[in-house]
């Protein structure tokens, strides 16, 4: 990476979902040089987040690589799916191939937070020729049940909040243990990335509450089965794993086993004072990601 820091402007890109039923949205931050032949970054957010979740990281990246950041179906500016059973990792993955196809992009570096990381592993296992590298943010082939149950406990609420102060307080109540040191301004910024203001001034989370149905009824709707065999299929692909020091999703034991099974092109960094999941603007996270990206084309 050697260019100037990327600017916040992006092009809105709309494309058809893989099943052709929905219109989906992605941010397209174009590289400063059209001659840059390096694989773009495809950033995939977690279960209840959207494309805004990566804004803090993008501010630290150089502008010489294209960055593509989608809202998964049912999130942000993408259509909600009237068939809630489609809110599954394999459906999201099919949408990502459709997104790359719509942008005529053959290869990409995948950066995935939580659910987005599971998607990255599925994509790398299915099409290793199209995945240049993977950054996993606080997720791996084994997901701790305690963390999954915690997520289940708060996903799906549809009640509106009175305004941004209440939204910030709600975000702090849900994520405070994971983000030590956050102050009022941090929580307001977090809420503005995670929520949407309605015409009446009330605020709601920017996702379809129906995404909760799958994770409540079917664990495979959130975590695909037999992920260790999937992990073994990623052996040809460079992987960087980031783990929050206090994560209740990704254990140190899982990271150690990931390293044992993927010894040739695997690196991992623990992010201090973070649970699930790091924001990715933490100095340790930024340094690790920049170093990793400098080695993959």
Q: Encoding tokens for residue 144?
A: 């701790």
Q: Quick one: CA dihedral 259, 280, 138, 75, positive or negative?
A: negative
Q: Measured on CA atoms in the order 10, 49, 121, 252, is the torsion positive or negative? A: positive
| DSSP state, residue 179 | B
83-117: b (≥16 Cβ within 10 Å) or e: ebebbbbebbbbbbebbbeebeeebbbbbbbbbbb
Q: Tell me the two tokens of residue 90.
A: 């394999």
**Rounded to whole angstroms, what are the CA distances from 281 to 78, 81, 145?**
25, 31, 27
Residue 57 CB contacts under 8 Å (≥ 6 apart), including other chains: 43, 111, 279, 280, 281, 285, 286, 289
Distance separating alpha carbons of residues 237 and 265, to the nearest angstrom: 7
The pLDDT, as a whole number, for residue 221 is 55
Rounded mean pLDDT for each run of 10 residues along the chain, 297 residues in total: 54 97 96 74 97 97 90 98 94 98 97 97 97 98 86 76 96 95 97 96 95 65 76 96 97 97 95 98 98 94
Please say whether the beta carbons of 213 and 84 come within 8 A. yes
Taking only the tens place, the pLDDT of each residue in 89-119 is: 999 999 999 999 999 999 999 999 999 999 9
Interval 283-295: pLDDT, tens? 999 999 999 999 9
Q: State the pLDDT at residue 9.
A: 85
CB-CB contact of 31 with 64 (8 Å): yes
């Amino acid at each position: 990476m050697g260019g100037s820091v990327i600017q916040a402007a992006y092009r809105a890109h709309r494309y058809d979902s893989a099943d052709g039923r929905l219109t989906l949205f992605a941010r397209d931050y174009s590289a400063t040089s059209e001659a840059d032949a390096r694989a773009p970054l495809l950033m995939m957010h977690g279960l209840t987040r959207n494309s805004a979740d990566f804004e803090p990281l993008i501010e630290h990246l150089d502008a010489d690589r294209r960055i593509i950041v989608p809202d998964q179906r049912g999130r942000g500016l993408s259509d909600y799916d009237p068939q809630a059973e489609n809110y599954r990792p394999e459906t999201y993955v099919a949408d990502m191939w459709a997104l790359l196809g719509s942008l005529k992009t053959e290869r990409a570096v995948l950066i995935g937070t939580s659910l987005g990381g599971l998607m990255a592993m599925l994509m790398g296992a299915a099409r290793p020729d199209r995945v240049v590298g993977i950054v996993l943010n606080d997720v791996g082939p084994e997901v701790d049940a305690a963390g999954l149950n915690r997520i289940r406990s708060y996903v799906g609420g549809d009640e509106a909040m009175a305004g941004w102060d209440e939204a910030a307080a709600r975000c702090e109540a849900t994520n405070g243990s994971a983000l030590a040191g956050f102050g009022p301004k941090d929580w307001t910024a977090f809420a503005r990335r995670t929520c949407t203001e309605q015409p009446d001034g009330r605020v709601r989370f920017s996702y379809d509450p129906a995404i909760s149905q799958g994770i409540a009824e079917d664990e495979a709707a959130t975590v695909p089965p037999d992920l260790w065999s999937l992990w073994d299929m990623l052996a040809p692909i460079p992987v960087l794993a980031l783990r929050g020091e206090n994560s209740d999703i990704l254990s140190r034991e899982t990271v150690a086993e990931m390293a044992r099974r993927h010894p040739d092109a695997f690196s991992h960094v623990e992010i201090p004072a973070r649970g699930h999941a790091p924001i990715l603007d933490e100095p340790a996270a930024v340094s690790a990601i920049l170093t990793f990206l400098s080695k993959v084309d």
